[in-house]
Amino acid sequence: MDFSSKLLENAVNEVSRLPGIGKRTALRLVLHLLKQPTENTKYLTDALTHLRGDVKSCKKCHNISDTVLCDICSNPKRNAEIVCVVEDIRDVMAIENTAQYRGLYHVLGGKISPIEGIGPQNLQIESLVEKVKEGEVKELIFALSSTMEGDTTNFYIYKQIEKYGITTSTIARGISVGDELEYADEVTLGRSIVNRIPFEQSIKG
């Protein structure tokens, strides 16, 4: 791709580093920004700068937050005895959109994947085990993806906390229903949380 401007080329190269963004899409986005009023670009750059400089990790659940404790963990109406274990913030957002879950979360920051060099020590597993040890958690809901890595991570955590005798469950697996994909996904996910099954049963199955 030939560029008439080095500045344009540099901007396109940086935007194309984003996941799922190729050079052509990056070029279209950069040219779009050039057509916008200057203040619009400043709003974007300011938002990204503040994101990088000011965003925090919730000290309790490791969710992305503006404060030391995220809005979910600091909400007294949430059930602190139930913790849903998820991979990342996108899973928290997806489950919250169902409006079917009123417990807390624990964001692992990934899944165990030896091929990618990700072991238990690279994830927020130790802090989860500590929560269970302290006795504040009565049930863990495993809500990781149905993949070998997800199942491996679930099983590893289960073995770490098995001796503490708390309830462990996993979200039910189902097929999306409805014509609108986004709405159907929320319905299915909501039902999966409500109709969760004992983790031991998922292992035997």
| Residue pair 94/143 in contact by the 8 Å Cβ criterion | no
Measured in degrees and rounded to the nearest 5, phi and psi for residue 78 equal: -80, 150
Neighbours of 193 (CB within 10 A): 20
The answer for residues whose C-beta is within 8 angstroms of residue 160's C-beta and 6 or more apart is 125, 129
Q: Sheet harboring 197-198: ordered strands across?
A: 103-107, 79-86, 139-142, 167-170, 197-198
Shortest CA distance to 146 belongs to which of 98, 93, 188?
188
Calculate the alpha carbon distances from 56 to 60, 66, 87, 97, 127 in Å: 12, 6, 17, 22, 17
d(Cα 88, Cα 93) in Å, to the nearest integer? Answer: 9
Digit-coded pLDDT (tens) for 44-85: 999 999 999 999 999 999 999 999 999 999 999 999 999 999
| Residue pair 160/125 in contact by the 8 Å Cβ criterion | yes
Rounded percentage of the chain residues whose pLDDT exceeds 70 = 87
Which spans in 138-180 are helix H?
Answer: 148-161
Find the range with the poorest average confidence among 32-46, 105-119, 168-182: 168-182
pLDDT over 80 at 184, yes or no: no
pLDDT over 80 at 1, yes or no: no
Neighbours of 188 (CB within 10 A): 19
Which pTM does this prediction carry?
A: 0.79
